[in-house]
């Protein structure tokens, strides 16, 4: 036995004899087919000679990247003041849910949102609902019961 073979010997913990360690199998390192690059348009460019599994992963990652892009645009399209208001509302909802009034706070805040967004009419502008107009005035071109009755009786 030569000196170079002795480096592969180890003492077995289960037996008193020395055993030969298995030699490591050489691994062939293959170069990558292609390194993905990001183009000017922000898309990832890869070659078409990938395996089907790699193509599915690539498609999934592209979809995830698009979702992240859209989410970022949505986050940045809202003003910081609005995010502060949403954060304060979420904090208030959390506080009310601690005292078991979270659902009541949620329903009440929905009503507040509805009334805040009702808006106001300009002077001289009629409402679409005649009961809110002075003298119950109707919008031009609306159909009412009186008009339907006269048309059914043959009058114009």
DSSP 6-54: GGGEEE-SSSSSEEEPPPPPP---PPPS---EE-TTSPEE--S-S-HHH
The neighbouring-strand residues paired with 18 are 11
Cα separation of 154 and 64, whole Å? 64
In 97-136, which positions are buried (b, 16+ CB within 10 angstroms) versus exposed (e)?
eeeeeeeebeeeeeeeeeeeeeeeeeeeeeeeeeeeeeee
| The pLDDT of residue 3 is above 60 | no
CB half-sphere exposure, 147, CA atoms < 13 A: 6
What tens digit of pLDDT does each residue of 43-91 get?
Answer: 666 555 567 777 778 788 888 888 888 888 888 888 889 889 999 999 9
| The pLDDT of residue 33 is above 70 | no
pLDDT at 104: 94
**If you average pLDDT over every residue of the chain, what do you get?**
77
Cα separation of 51 and 33, whole Å? 11
Percent of all residues in the chain with a pLDDT value above 90, rounded to a whole number: 21
Contacts of 46 (CB under 8 A, 6+ apart): 34, 36, 58
Cα separation of 116 and 90, whole Å? 18
13-22, 36-45, 78-87, 89-98: least confident range:
13-22
Cα separation of 121 and 44, whole Å? 51
């Amino acid at each position: 036995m030569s000196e170079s073979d002795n480096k592969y010997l180890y003492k077995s913990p289960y037996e008193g004899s020395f055993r030969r360690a298995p030699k490591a199998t050489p691994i062939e390192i293959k170069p990558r087919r292609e390194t993905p690059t990001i183009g000017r348009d922000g898309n990832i460019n890869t070659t078409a000679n990938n395996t089907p599994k790699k193509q599915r992963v690539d498609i999934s990652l592209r979809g995830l990247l698009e979702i992240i892009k859209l989410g970022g645009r949505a986050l940045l399209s809202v003003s910081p003041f609005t995010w502060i208001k949403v954060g304060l509302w979420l904090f208030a909802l959390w506080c009310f849910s601690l005292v078991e009034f979270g659902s009541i706070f949620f329903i009440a805040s929905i009503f507040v949102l509805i009334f805040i967004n009702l808006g106001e009419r300009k002077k001289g502008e009629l409402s679409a609902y005649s009961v809110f107009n002075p003298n119950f005035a109707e919008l031009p071109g609306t159909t009412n019961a009186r008009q339907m009755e006269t048309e059914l009786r043959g009058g114009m």
